[in-house]
Copies of this chain bind each other. A is one copy, B any other.
Amino acid sequence: MTAFSQTVALPPGTPAQAGLAVLLPALADLYRDLHAHPELSMQENRTADLVAAALRAQGWDVTEGVGRTGVVGVLHNGDGPVVLLRADMDGLPVREDTGLDYASTDTGIDPDGVTVPVMHACGHDVHVTCLLGAAALYAADRSLWRGTLVVVFQPGEETAQGARAMVDDGFVERFPRPDVCLGQHVGPFPAGTIVTRPGTLMAAADSFRIRLFGRGGHGSAPEHTVDPIVMGSAVVGRLQAVVSREVAAGDSAVVTVGSFHSGHKENIIPDEAELKINVRTFDPQVRNRVLPAIRRVVNAEAAASGAPKDPEFSPLNDFPLTVNDEAATERVVAALAGAFGSDRILPMPRPLAGSEDFGVFATAAGCPSVFWHFGGADPAAFAHLDLTATAALALPEGVPTNHSPQFAPVIDPTLETGVRALLAAAAAWNAAS
């Protein structure tokens, strides 16, 4: 690891342009190392150590253990705005199937104590690498910018725990309060392109577990029981109407029952059923309608069955909406278009149904935020597509998406794009000139 803290630091005074050329091979090595050694959410110890060592070698003021494994770097450069740049660090319990020579074979121990394979199947290794690259350039070339930079390496994004853990650990009070929060995510877009939109960018997600209580008994005597499988099935059926009848055309919500478990033997009626539900919404008003409607349906179906006990709802996790400030996004898009050419900045025609906890920082700090996606897929796969407008959401056959066991961003030009996008976006606030 010492190696990386050396190689991803530049001599003070190295101009950014030249520095980037020097850095890129080292960043590629770092990326391959991170990719080979992913860690589960809130257990990003090796990654955090590596990040902290590198930041220190570059000259940042580093704080570790913020929200368990989070790392924060601060760098001052005279008067000027405070810009926050964020990367997330965690991998996923997925068995890698990329065939890469730097593929992960590591395992981790999940919250239930089970040993599971781990993979950087969501590209957070790319995020860490790019932000460390940008940090190196900022630290080496003070002529580039002014004000204060705060770099955040966040744990536990996949479980919606990390950003909140850092805020709960005093993030806002302990570090310079940002004027803007910037973040990025690699995805199945052509490498070299950047995709974003003002307003709602990604869905809010609310997940919870529901226990439905029946009364078990012999399979031949249902009259002495309250059948939780009939109850749970009625819940699932009836929840469809929450989406189909309570969400307006033009609004959207997704209500997924991802898990239904009840019973073991065919001739025994079980006592309980357990459902796990995930809800995606893009608008707080829709969310405020859908969540209580689900609860209403579940309670009513338990009543319809004559359940001996009310259903039990327990939260699993919840992600806020990711909303790009309109004015700030305009600044970022203009800056990115300036840096990359406007043909590489693709408008996103509508929000993604995926979710992020990036918004937690800006909400806590009371400042605007902007988030963007950048491509990690081989551009050749998109050659036949017109990448304007809605094509930004086209997914060619065979391009693996995030969370897939085959997810494997191409290193070049993905890393370079990610580093330069951070610098360009921040420059819309802190450019020295």
A residues sitting closer than 8 Å to B (CB atoms) are 203, 205, 207-209, 218-223, 225, 227, 229-230, 232-270, 273, 276-278, 280, 282, 289, 293, 296-297, 299-301, 303-306, 316, 350-351, 353-355, 401, 403
Is A205 within 8 A of B245, CB to CB?
Answer: no
Other 15 A-B pairs with CB < 8 A, given A220-B249, A299-B303:
A208-B266, A219-B258, A220-B256, A220-B353, A222-B244, A223-B245, A223-B251, A237-B237, A249-B253, A249-B353, A250-B351, A259-B265, A259-B266, A266-B316, A304-B304
Closest residue to A252 on the B side, CB-wise?
Answer: B249
Residues of B within 8 A of A235 (CB): 233
Partner of A207 from the list B245, B254, B267, B403 (CB cut-off 8 Å) is B267
Say whether chain A's binding surface is mostly helix, strand, loop, or mixed. Answer: mixed
A205, A208, A227 — which one has the most chain B CB atoms within 10 A of its CB?
A227
Is B260 within 8 A of A263, CB to CB?
Answer: yes
Residues of B within 8 A of A237 (CB): 230, 233-234, 237, 240
Shortest Cβ distance from residue A99 to the other chain B in the assembled complex, whole angstroms: 22
Shortest Cβ distance from residue A220 to the other chain B in the assembled complex, whole angstroms: 3
Partner of A303 from the list B203, B268, B303 (CB cut-off 8 Å) is B303
Shortest Cβ distance from residue A261 to the other chain B in the assembled complex, whole angstroms: 5
A129 vs B322: C-alpha distance when bound (angstroms): 48
Is B280 within 8 A of A260, CB to CB?
Answer: no
Is B230 within 8 A of A240, CB to CB?
Answer: yes
Is A263 within 8 A of B258, CB to CB?
Answer: yes
**Which 5 A-B pairs give the minimum distances between C-beta atoms?**
A220-B353, A300-B304, A266-B276, A233-B236, A243-B244
Is B265 within 8 A of A262, CB to CB?
Answer: no
Is A245 within 8 A of B249, CB to CB?
Answer: no
Is A258 within 8 A of B250, CB to CB?
Answer: no
Partner of A230 from the list B205, B245, B262, B280 (CB cut-off 8 Å) is B245
Is B304 within 8 A of A249, CB to CB?
Answer: no
A219 vs B278: C-alpha distance when bound (angstroms): 7
Is A255 within 8 A of B244, CB to CB?
Answer: yes
Contacts A244-B243, A260-B229 hold; do A219 and B316 have CB atoms under 8 A apart?
no
A115 vs B246: C-alpha distance when bound (angstroms): 35
Residues of B within 8 A of A236 (CB): 229-230, 233
Partner of A244 from the list B209, B221, B232, B244 (CB cut-off 8 Å) is B244
Shortest Cβ distance from residue A322 to the other chain B in the assembled complex, whole angstroms: 13
Residues of B within 8 A of A249 (CB): 203, 220-221, 252-254, 280, 282, 351, 353
Closest residue to A243 on the B side, CB-wise?
Answer: B244
Partner of A252 from the list B218, B252, B289, B403 (CB cut-off 8 Å) is B252
A276 vs B249: C-alpha distance when bound (angstroms): 20
Is B267 within 8 A of A205, CB to CB?
Answer: yes
A350 vs B227: C-alpha distance when bound (angstroms): 24
A403 vs B209: C-alpha distance when bound (angstroms): 31
Is A264 within 8 A of B269, CB to CB?
Answer: no
Residues of B within 8 A of A354 (CB): 218, 220
A242 vs B222: C-alpha distance when bound (angstroms): 10
